[in-house]
Chains A and B, each alone.
Chain A
C-alpha cells in the first residue's frame, strides 16, 4: 500500500460530505444551520482549491493533491470514457480522468450553490424569484452529481478490486502499474 491522499484532501472530502448533508437537512424554514453549513462548505472548497494548486505533487511516496495531476484534457478523458464502456479502462493510482472532472463539477456546483445562497441574503436579492429558484436548482443538480459520483466510485472500486471510499478515509491504495 502506498500513500495517495494527504490529510487535507481526505479531511476536506469528508467534512464536505457532512456539510452538504447538513445543508440539505436544514434547507427549509430558515434554519440557521443552513447558512452556517453552506458557508462552511464554501470555506472548505476554498481551502481545497488553493491546495489543488500548491499541495503535494506526485513523488515516490505518491500524493495526488494537485488538479494538474488528475484533471485531464477532454480528449484523454473521452478516450478513457470509451475504454470504461468497453470494460478495459486502466486503473489510476490517483483520480481517473472522469473522476477528476467530477471533482471539478462538484466543487463548481457547491461554489455556485453557496454563492446564490449568499446572494439571497442580500437586500438586493432577498425574495427575488430567479435567485431562489437558481439556488434550489443548483442544489438539485448537486444531488444528481453526488449520486453519479457515488456510482462512479462503486464502479471503479469493483472494476479494479479496491475500496476507493476506504482509500479516501485512510489515504492508502495498492501500488501497482498505473496508466496502462
Chain B
C-alpha cells in the first residue's frame, strides 16, 4: 500500500523536475558564443516592450515580456543571433 503510494507520487513528480516551459529548442552551441541577456533586454525595451525576466530554456533565451499592446508574451530568441524563434503551439 505504501509502496503503491510512493510509486504514484514518484511517477507524478518526475516530469516536474525539469523546470522548463518547453515551447522551443535552439541549436545554440557553447555559451561563450552567445550574446548577453542585457543586449536582448535592450533590443526588446527599445521596441517599447517591458522585459520582466529572461530565462534559458531549451538552449534558447526565453523572455517574459509585456509588449507594446500590454499583452503578456513568452518570446523565444536564439542566443547567438538574437533572432526570434517561433514557438510550438501548446
Contact = CB atoms under 8 A, between A and B. Distances in A.
A127 B72 contact: yes
| Ranked 10 nearest A-B pairs via Cβ | A127-B64, A127-B52, A21-B12, A24-B16, A27-B16, A129-B53, A25-B12, A24-B13, A29-B22, A24-B12
Interface string B1-23: 11001101100110110111111
Contacts, number: 62
A178 interface: no
Contacts of A40: none
Contacts of B13: 21, 24-25, 143
Contact of A150 (B2, B15, B22, B23): B2
A73 to B, nearest CB: 30
A126 B19 CA distance: 17
Interface residues of B, number: 23
A154 B16 contact: no
Given A27-B19, A28-B21, A126-B64, 6 more contacts: A25-B16, A29-B23, A29-B90, A126-B72, A129-B52, A136-B19
Interface of A: 17, 21-22, 24-25, 27-31, 126-129, 132, 136, 139, 143, 146, 150, 153-154, 163, 165-166
Contacts of A150: 2, 5-6, 9
Nearest to B19: A136
A157 to B, nearest CB: 8
B9 A21 contact: yes
Nearest to B18: A28
A126 B51 CA distance: 11
B60 interface: no
With a 10 A CB-CB cut-off, give which of A17, A127, A163 has the most chain B CB atoms: A127
B64 A165 contact: no
Contacts of A30: 21, 90
